[in-house]
Structure 1
Amino acid sequence: MTTHDTIPLFSTNPDHDFEIRTALGHAVEGAADIGEVLAATAHIGKNDHEAWFTAWNSLAERTAETAATAEAAGHRVSAAEAYLRASAYYSVAVNATSALPDSSDLVPTFRKQRASWESFVSLTAMARASHVDIPFELSSLPGYFFRPTTDLGANGVTLVAVNGSDGSLAGLWAACVAPALKRGYNVLVFDGPGQQSQLFERNIPFRPDWENILTPVYDFVSRQKGVDPARIGLYGISQGSFWVARALAFEHRYAAAITDPGLVDVSTSWVSQLPKSLMKLIDDGKNARFDTEMGIAMKLSPATARTWQFRARPYGATGYAETINAVRACTIADIASRITTPLLITDPQGEQFWPGQAEQLATLTPSVSTIVHFTEAEGANGHCQPMARSLTAQRMFDWLDDTLYSRIPAVVSSGKLGS
């Protein structure tokens, strides 16, 4: 199934094509250079997965070297820009190596990705950035709190941004953070369970109960100087949309939220690919037999095995049936009606992973939700509108501005504004 009839394919491999489109979309906020991406990926064969990793890793290495040279020469702007691109390119290499039989390069590549990001954060003049550790259960969630460099930031409006299942902070910067900062928002980003440093360095897997993550996150960000607790918004991209929607069914203090796109049941993108006879084995409790038959199927389809390895890793499960059951726990079909927070739901034409779920979420939350459609004619089709991120930011933030700025401002004398 193709969802990109208006814009020609960049690769006949649908996963590669989507990664390229996502990278090109990041260029609008400096997290990619179009020529670099297209040149690096131009001659990679459809099933040459080693070459796919090598291309992105080599591009990242070259770009990081450019950044280091610029930094050493005192060119801070050039260095920051190149470090941001390098981090975004390394993130594609991380995803690529995660699907290879030998994943020994996975953690080292991630550490280079994060090192480039850290260098960008330390050098950028686009925001005032702070490292933060958000208290969480018996540990903490590592994150970054960004404040705009303009006087617009004195209004205390703040956005908490939740990444997807495999997204990098460089990608989240392009999708959400940079557009928010331009509009005067403070922005908090962090690694939650199963994401980035939590997965690769702490071996902490996904969990569905994100009300237990986004509640302490709200508690933390609402106490930060210059933040108006009554005007904190929430944004989730890709699978982050599920975590956001799930949390909102229990945590009602966020003033507004965006799911990009709407997502109700994560498991549909998994189980829709499996025969009903196989799924019946799980439903009947025959997990061992399910695992046996899946193991045979994976040997017959190396491409499927690669995808499974990549997608299953963050769930931390040991068997095929255990993984499916973990994914099936990621649904809000029975609790979405509890959401009382004003909710913007993006709905791209040709959504390839969770088709129809934006409309489903809107139907489950009719009193609070607004759905905004994106079309192929606009070049805005496909999961998360990868080639139309400026259009996406305009529609999201115009709605968010109208929603958050309509709320009664906090009292200036409280000391939480104007700093």
Structure 2
Amino acid sequence: MPPPVASSLFHDALHEQLGVWPLAYIPYGGADYGEVVRIAQEVGEGDDGAFHAAWTRAAMRLEGEAASVLARGHDSSARELLLRAACFHGKAYHPLFGEPVDTRLLQSHRAQVSAFQRALSLVASPVTMRRVRCDDASMPVYLLPAAGRENEVRPLLIVTNGYDASITDMYFAWAVAATRRGFHCMIFEGPGQGDVLIEQGIAMRPDWENVVSAVVDHALQSPIVDPARIALAGWSLGGYLAPRAAAGEHRLAACIADPGKRDVVGDFGAFATKLGMPCDIATTRPSELDSSILDPLWNAITHNRKFRWSMVQRGFWVNGSSDLRDHLARIERFTMDGRINDIRCPTLFTLAEDDPLARGTEAFYEELACPKHLIRFTAAEGAGDHCEMGNRSLLNRRVLDWLTETLGVKG
């Protein structure tokens, strides 16, 4: 019998938030339960350095084993080990987010990408990363062919990330399931994400239609992509980015938002209220709040470890913000105001019952004028949390069933 799932594996709340994500990737080869438990035990009551070191040791152990089995001709085993190592390197650096960029973060990011690319080379039709330009950004893009249908013209699912997930998160959370179901899958990192943020220092931008248009242009150059059946999926902040892209990029045949987000700043009022700020601030543009509100809010944020990481270390860095008022002004630009009716393709929204970031999903859904579908996920199914990470395979079954029917995918 497997051991019972503990209510918490990591001592530190932020480490728990970041460290259990690989559990969602177990069905797709990203981790095993015992590995994550062991890493949590090694971290113990340690700091972010201990978290980074434990994940890095585990990743290096996997890479060492991959080299050993590869030398004996076991390409499949080496590929599996390298993919898992890439996942672990990616988890190692998350608590280190922020500027100036920590040397350990940079090293782990590069180790992650190296392991991932080596893994993708160990297949019959090796997958190569390409660079796609979007203004000043050079975006890494991977086209992962459908399993067993590498040379067939098939529908394509493009996946876009949100605030802090990496290229390997998209691989395990979306691409493995999609390629098993007969879709080619394209994953990429844009402004404010992964390589473009870490290596190039380019911040997030709200006009994601321009980012995705560059990716679609690239996809249409591939002879295996069906140009009439290109879909886009986004998760977390991608639940805003994907609909925003669909409103401006009309070559998309379908759009998926996990969860659907009308804007980014809409969560600010609830966030501030949770920190003890007056409820009526939700009626004011956050960037225009008086210092008598912003100053105590800033104090509350900086004295709460999880909020400090989320808004300052991650949020400021991703958005290129200099201070709280500047940050709020920047995220106010992430809005679907005046664009919702421009979404024409069939669109799917997910809604997990315990996800605070899905608070406005139903209202956004009601505004859609395009063909639309809403899928609810519950705590009783183990899928009530953000991005359904407690039961990611359920999310993939339901979403890919809808996409299969919508695009008329056969076989």
Question: How far apart, CA to CA, are the structure 2 residues paired with 1:396 and 1:299?
Answer: 38
Q: How does 1:267-282 map onto structure 2 within 5 Å?
A: 267-274=265-272, 275-276=277-278
Q: How does 1:145-160 map onto structure 2 within 5 Å?
A: 145-151=143-149, 154-160=152-158
The equivalent residue for 1:403 is 406
The equivalent residue for 1:217 is 215
1:370-399 Cα deviation digits (max 9, x unpaired): 000111111111011112122111111111
- TM-superposed CA distance for 1:85, in Å, is 0.9
The equivalent residue for 2:259 is 261
Q: How does 1:14-413 map onto structure 2 within 5 Å?
A: 14-42=13-41, 44=43, 48-98=47-97, 103-124=102-123, 128-137=126-135, 140-151=138-149, 154-274=152-272, 275-276=277-278, 283-284=287-288, 296-297=299-300, 300-307=303-310, 308-352=312-356, 354-405=357-408
Q: In 2 relative to 1, CA 323–68 (structure 1 residues): closer, same or farther, beyond 3 Å?
A: farther
Amino acid at match of 1:395: R
Moved more, 385-394 or 194-203: 385-394
Question: How far apart, CA to CA, are the structure 1 residues paired with 2:95 and 2:82?
Answer: 20
Task: Give 3-state SS (helix, strand or coil) of 2:387's partner.
Answer: coil
1:311-370 Cα deviation digits (max 9, x unpaired): 321111112211121122212144223211101111112013x13232122111154210
Question: How far apart, CA to CA, are the structure 2 residues paired with 1:9 and 1:266?
Answer: 29
Question: How far apart, CA to CA, are the structure 1 residues paired with 2:365 and 2:147?
Answer: 36
Question: How far apart, CA to CA, are the structure 2 residues paired with 1:300 and 1:396?
Answer: 39
Q: In 2 relative to 1, CA 74–377 (structure 1 residues): closer, same or farther, beyond 3 Å?
A: same
Q: In 2 relative to 1, CA 251–102 (structure 1 residues): closer, same or farther, beyond 3 Å?
A: closer
Task: Give 3-state SS (helix, strand or coil) of 1:114's partner.
Answer: helix
Amino acid at match of 2:106: V
1:112-143 Cα deviation digits (max 9, x unpaired): 11111111111145x65232222423554221
Moved more, 155-164 or 205-214: 155-164
Number of equivalences: 399
Amino acid at match of 2:390: M
* CA RMSD across the alignment: 2.8
Question: How far apart, CA to CA, are the structure 2 residues paired with 1:195 and 1:242?
Answer: 15
Question: How far apart, CA to CA, are the structure 1 residues paired with 2:253 and 2:213?
Answer: 13
Unaligned 5+ residue runs, structure 1? 1-5, 410-419
Question: How far apart, CA to CA, are the structure 2 residues paired with 1:278 and 1:9?
Answer: 34
CA contact (8 A) 1:290 1:320 kept: no
Question: How far apart, CA to CA, are the structure 2 residues paired with 1:65 and 1:271?
Answer: 48
Question: How far apart, CA to CA, are the structure 2 residues paired with 1:154 and 1:281?
Answer: 50
Question: How far apart, CA to CA, are the structure 2 residues paired with 1:228 and 1:300?
Answer: 51
Task: Give 3-state SS (helix, strand or coil) of 2:271's partner.
Answer: coil
TM-score by length of 1: 0.86
Question: How far apart, CA to CA, are the structure 1 residues paired with 2:395 and 2:331?
Answer: 28
- TM-superposed CA distance for 1:46, in Å, is 6.7
Question: How far apart, CA to CA, are the structure 1 residues paired with 2:407 and 2:382?
Answer: 29
Q: In 2 relative to 1, CA 56–43 (structure 1 residues): closer, same or farther, beyond 3 Å?
A: closer
Question: How far apart, CA to CA, are the structure 2 residues paired with 1:155 and 1:161?
Answer: 19
Task: Give 3-state SS (helix, strand or coil) of 1:129's partner.
Answer: coil
Unaligned 5+ residue runs, structure 2? none
Q: In 2 relative to 1, CA 224–299 (structure 1 residues): closer, same or farther, beyond 3 Å?
A: closer
Moved more, 367-376 or 301-310: 301-310
- TM-superposed CA distance for 1:260, in Å, is 1.4
Q: In 2 relative to 1, CA 100–312 (structure 1 residues): closer, same or farther, beyond 3 Å?
A: closer
Amino acid at match of 2:171: W
Q: In 2 relative to 1, CA 176–283 (structure 1 residues): closer, same or farther, beyond 3 Å?
A: closer
CA contact (8 A) 2:117 2:128 kept: no
Amino acid at match of 1:16: H
Amino acid at match of 1:61: M
Question: How far apart, CA to CA, are the structure 2 residues paired with 1:7 and 1:362?
Answer: 35
Q: In 2 relative to 1, CA 211–319 (structure 1 residues): closer, same or farther, beyond 3 Å?
A: same
Question: Relative contact order, CA 8 A, sep 6+: which one is greater?
Answer: 1
Moved more, 145-154 or 185-194: 145-154
Moved more, 49-58 or 109-118: 49-58
Task: Give 3-state SS (helix, strand or coil) of 1:386's partner.
Answer: helix
Moved more, 361-370 or 297-306: 297-306
